[in-house]
Chains A and B, each alone.
Chain A
Amino acid sequence: MSTAYKTVTDISGPILLVEQVENVSYDELCEVELISGEKRLGKVLEAREGMAVVQLFESTQGITTEGTKVRFLGRTFELGVSEDMLGRVFSGSGKPIDDGPEIVAEKKLDINGTPINPFAREFPEDFIQTGISTIDVLNTLVRGQKLPIFSGAGLPHSQLAAKIARQARVLTKEEVETGKAAEASEAGTDDKFAVVFAAMGVTFEEAQYFKTEFEKTGALSRAVLFLNTADNPVVERIATPRLALTAAEYLAFEKGYHVTVIITDMTNYCEALREVSAARKEVPGRRGYPGYLYTDLATLYERAGRIKGKEGSITQIPILTMPEDDVTHPIPDLTGYITEGQIRLDRGLHQKGTFPPVIPMGSLSRLKGKAQGEGVTREDHSGMDAQLTAAYARGVEVRELAVILGESSLNDTDKAYLTFADRFEKEFIAQGEEENRSIFESLTIGWNLLSELPKSELKRVKQEHIDAYLPAKKSE
C-alpha cells in the first residue's frame, strides 16, 4: 500500500500543493481523502523533488491543509473497458450512474491514449449518408472524420447532432449502382455500429434530451453515455471527453465497431482548462486560454479516424457554442485548424425558421473529395456541390445589393440568383426534423433549383450532367 501524505501546504482553485513526497511521477493519479473520509481523484501536473502539484477532478471545497491525506496510486487515470459498456450511463469521471452493476473490465486503458501513427492510418473515404441535404451534398461526412458543429447559444445544435446520430448510415452497393435509395425497411444498417456520447457542463435538460432521443430510436442499447452536467465539478470536464474517446477507441479498434462520438460542449471543456491554467498562474495566451490549448485540443480531436487492417472507425462530431457567434474566438478558431472542416449554424437562418440552419458559407468538409462522385454517390455530386455553393454565395450577395438599390435595378441574371437563393433556403437547406432525405433526393432538389438559373451560368457542373439531369424550365 502506498504512503498517505498529510503534507498538503497550498490549496488554490482546483490545485493542491503536496510537499515532502517521494517517487511521484508526472501525470500520476492520486486519491485525496478528506477528514470526513470522502475520497476525491486528482492527477499530478508537476512533479518535483519532494513536491507535487496536484489537480483535482472535483472541487476543492472542504479540503483542509491539515488532516487531508493524499495517496499517489502509481498509475495514470485509467478506464476499465468492456463491451458491456454499451447501453450504460456513466458520470463525467467514469462511474456508472444508471443503477446498473459495476463494469467488469476486460482491460484497463490510459485515458490519455497514444497518438495514432500517421503511417498506420487508413485514409477515410466512405461516404456517410446523414439524410441532411446540406451535409450530404455540400459538406459530405466521411467515416472516420472529425467534423465539429460550430453553433451559438440557443441554436438547435443538439437536434442536429441527434439527427445525424439517428440517421447516419452507409449506402449499399446496390444503391450506388442503381442511383436509387433503398426502401427504409431494407436500407443497409451496420450491425456493428455504436454511439459514444460525452456531455460536459450542459444542462440536465440537454443531457436528458439526448438520452430520451437515444431511447426513442432504440439506439441507447448501442450507446455509451458519459454525463457531466452543469452542476457537476468543473474540472471533471477535463477527463470526460478522454474517457469517452478511450471507450470509443476500444470499441472501434479492438471490437470493430463503427463509432460515432458526440461531444458537447467543447466550450465548457476549454473553460475548465482555462480555470486550471489560471490557478497555476501560467502565462496566458489569447483571451486567457493557455498557450497549449491547440495541443490539448489536438490530443482529443486527433483520436478519430481509421486504422489499416482494422474494421472499426471513429467519427467525431464535437459541438461547440461560439461565444457571441464569433468564429475567430480561440475555441472555434483552434478547433477549425485541427478538425477536418466544420458545420456552421447560422442565427439568421434559424430566425427565419429554417431547420437545420446549416450555412454553406463557412461550412466545409475537408474529406469530401473522395466521398463524392461516381462509384461512391453519383457522378454529378461534386459538380453540384461547387455549383450550389457558388450560386448561393452569389445569390446572397445580390440580396444585399437589392436591399440598397431595390430589386428593380437588378438585371435578369441577378434576379434569377435572388430567386435561386430564396428557394435554396426553403427547399434545400430546410427540411423537417424527421425528414431523412437520400443523397439522390437531395441531388434532385439541387437540379430543380439550378433550373432557376440561366444555363450559361452553370459553369461548375459538366455539360453531360446538365443534359442528363437538368429538368426543363416550366416556362419553356
Chain B
Amino acid sequence: MSSQPIITKVAGPLVVAKGMKNAKMYEVVRVSKEKLIGEVIELHGETASIQVYEETSGIGPGEPVELTGQTLSVDLGPGLLTSFYDGIQRPLELIEKVAESAFISRGIEVPGLDREKKWDFKAVAQEGDQVIAGDILGTVQETTLIDHKVMLPPHITGGKIKKIQSGSFNIEQTVAVIETEDGDKEVCMLQKWPIRIPRPSKAKKFPNEPLQTGTRILDTLFPIARGGAGAIPGPFGSGKTVTQQSLAKYCAAQVIVYIGCGERGNEMTEVLKEFPTLIDPNSGEPLMKRTVLIANTSNMPVAAREASVYTGITIAEYYRDMGYDVALMADSTSRWAEAMREMSGRLEEMPGEEGYPAYLGSRTAGFYERTGIVSCLGKEDRTGSLTAIGAVSPPGGDFSEPVTQNTLRVTKVFWALDAKLAYKRHFPAINWLQSYSLYLDNLDKYYATEVAEDFCEKRDKIQAILQEESKLEEIVRLVGTDALSPREQLTMEIARMAREDFLYQNAFDKVDAYTSLKKQYKLLDVMIHFMEEAEKVIGQEDFEFSRVRDLPVKDEIAKASFIPEDEVEEKYAVLKETISNQIGALKTQNTSVKKEEVQI
C-alpha cells in the first residue's frame, strides 16, 4: 500500500510526500494531478521533502506524486542562443503560446530546445578517427556569431568513429556512431546535463588576461580577469542592473548568459527588447545572437529562482567547453540566497546568520568555483573561459551582511556601488576607494605588453591621487580650500579631473559608452601630462593656484572622452601640446624659476 507516493503536507513551495522509497536526492518529480515540477531536497525514510517550482495553491494531501528517475537537467545543444528561459529552462515564449495567456499558468511542460528544428551539421571528424570525450565531432552554425561545436559528451569516454555524416538533422537524430568498449553509442546534437554538477574539464589555468569591458573605472582601476569572478554589491538605486547590462553589452566575451534572478519583470523585458537592436561592434550583428537570457522574476515561484543560477551556469559551461570565452551575469545573487533561506525555513532547518541556512557559504563558493579558464576536454588543446559577475543586493546597503560577506570570500573583484555617487548622478556609481581587484598583479604583464609599458605606473599614480583626495577633503571640510598648498590643490584638481572626466562615463552616449584600453591609457596620459606640466609652475613663489584651475584647456580635457576611437591618436597629441603651451605661459620670469631651483 505504501508504494504509491502520496502528498502528506503542503506549505507554500514545500510539499512533503510519503511512499517515496525509490526517490533519489535531487530527483525531479511531478506533484499532484496538475503535474507541477518539483525536486526532492530531503529524504527521511520513505518521506521526501520536495521543492515545487510552481505555485502550489489548490494542492492538498492525498494527491499523487510521480517519480521521473531524472535529476534536474538542462538541454544543451544548438538553439540555446537567443533563447529566453525561465528558471528551469522553459522557453517563456512557448509558455505564452501553450498557456494562451500573458500570465504564466501551471503545469506547462515545454522542452528547453526545439526538437523539430533542423540544423546543418558539418562533420569535422572522420570515420575511423579515434576520439575521446570532449572532442569535436562536427559544427553547426548556430547564429551568425557563434559556430556551435558538437562534442563527444563527457559520459562517453572514447572510441572509434564508426559512422558520421554531415547533413540536416534535428537535435535528437543520430549524427555519429562511436564504437566503444561497451558497444556502439549513438551521438546526437542534444546533451543533457544535471544543473547542480559542474561540467568536467581537463585542467584549470591561471587567469592572466583581462576581460575588457569598455568601462574605464573597471578596465583601468579594477579589472576582472577572463575566467575570474566578481561581485557588484550595492543598495537599490545605485546602478547594479545598469552596470550588469552594460557589461553584457560591451564585455569582450563571445557568449553571454544573463540571469535575472528574482528581479523586476520590466527589466527583463527591457533587455529582451534592447539586445536584438544593439549591434556588436566587432561583427555588426545584433548582440542577442550571442546571448542566452534566463528570467525568473521576483513574483515567479521561489524554488525556480533557486534553480535559475544553476541553469545559467550549466549553459555557460557548455559553451566554455567549446572553447569560447563566456561571461555570466547573475542579477541578483541575493535573491538566490533568499530563496535558499525561504526553503530552509520551510524545512525547519536550524538557521545560521540572519536566518540564512548554514550552507550559504559553501553553496556560494561552489557556484563561483565553477568559473575559471580551463583546458577543455578532448585531444585538441582548446581553452575556454567562464567569467561570472554576480550582483549582490545587501539589505540597507550594509556590506557586512552574510550574502555580501560570503560572496567576497570567493570573488576576487569587488565593485562597490555607492548610493551617494548615484545621487550625484556620477555613473557608473562605483566607489573608487572601497572597490578592489585582486587580479592586478596577474594582469600587469598583459597591460605592459599589450597596452603600454607604463600603463600600470600611470594607473597607480591616479589611484594614489584619488586616495590622497579623500584625505585632503577632510581638511577642506574643516578649514577650507585656502589652507591647502598649491601642490595639494593640484592633487585635488587632478583628482576632480580623474573623477569627472575619466571615471564618469555616460552609458547613453554612443562614443563614451565604450572605451578601448588604448584610449583609456591615452586619456590617463593626458591627465598625468597636465599634472606634470602644472607641477613645473606651481612651485613658483606666490603662485596663485587659480591660474591653473582656470585654464581654458580644462574644458577640452572634459570633452576628451567623447572623441571617437579613430581620432584619438591625433587629437590627444594636439591636446597634450595645448596643455604644455597654456601651462607654459604661466611661467614667470626666469629669475623666479631659478629661485625655485635654488630652493631645491
Contact = CB atoms under 8 A, between A and B. Distances in A.
Interface of A: 22-28, 45-50, 76, 110, 112-124, 144-145, 253, 282-286, 291-292, 294-295, 298-299, 301-303, 305, 307-308, 310, 327-330, 333-334, 336-338, 340-342, 360-362, 364, 366-367, 369, 382, 386, 389-390, 393-394, 401, 404-405, 409, 411, 456, 459-460
Among A118, A360, A405, the most chain B Cβ lie within 10 Å of the Cβ of A118
Contacts, number: 210
A328 B397 contact: yes
Nearest to A370: B270
B299 A47 contact: no
A349 to B, nearest CB: 15
Interface stretch (B89-97, B172-180, B444-452): B89-97
Nearest to B268: A118
B298 A23 contact: no
Given A28-B58, A115-B300, A328-B396, A394 B424 contact: yes
B57 A27 contact: yes
Interface of B: 8-12, 55-62, 84, 92-93, 95-96, 99, 101-105, 235-237, 260, 262, 264-270, 272-273, 295, 297-300, 302, 335, 338, 341-342, 345, 348, 351, 354-355, 393, 395-398, 419, 422-426, 477-482, 500, 508, 555, 558
Contacts of B342: 291-292, 295
21 contacts: A28-B57, A46-B9, A47-B59, A48-B10, A49-B9, A114-B104, A116-B265, A118-B84, A119-B93, A119-B95, A119-B96, A286-B395, A294-B338, A301-B298, A305-B266, A308-B102, A328-B396, A333-B395, A366-B237, A405-B480, A456-B555
A15 to B, nearest CB: 13
A150 B14 CA distance: 34
A25 B92 CA distance: 28
Contact of B102 (A253, A329, A333): A253
Contact of B60 (A24, A145, A282, A362): A24
A157 to B, nearest CB: 19
Contacts of B11: 26, 45-47
Contact of A291 (B260, B341, B397, B481): B341
Contacts of B8: 48-49
A390 B558 contact: no
A76 B298 contact: no
A411 B550 CA distance: 13
A313 to B, nearest CB: 12
Nearest to A362: B423
A112 B236 CA distance: 26
A73 B523 CA distance: 71
A334 B268 CA distance: 19
A114 B103 contact: yes
Given A285-B355, A298-B299, A367 B57 contact: no
B237 A291 contact: no
Nearest to A253: B102
A126 to B, nearest CB: 13
B329 to A, nearest CB: 16
Contacts of A47: 9-11, 59-61
B265 A305 contact: yes
A171 B138 CA distance: 57
Contacts of A119: 84, 92-93, 95-96, 269, 272
A404 to B, nearest CB: 7
A389 B395 contact: no
Contacts of A394: 424
Contact of B299 (A50, A282, A299): A299
A327 B395 CA distance: 10
A404 B295 contact: no
B240 to A, nearest CB: 10
Of the candidates A117, A308, A310, the one having the most CB atoms from chain B within 10 angstroms of its own CB is A117
B396 A333 contact: yes
Contacts of B60: 23-26, 28, 47
Contacts of A360: 423
A116 B351 contact: no
Q: Which 4 A-B pairs have the closest CB atoms?
A: A328-B396, A25-B60, A27-B57, A298-B298
B9 A118 contact: no
A121 B104 CA distance: 12
Contacts of B59: 25-26, 47
A329 B397 CA distance: 11
Given A114-B55, A295-B298, A393-B424, A26 B10 contact: yes
Contacts of B500: 459
A406 B268 CA distance: 50
A401 B102 contact: no
Contacts of B393: 337
B62 A23 contact: yes
B95 A283 contact: no
A386 B481 CA distance: 27
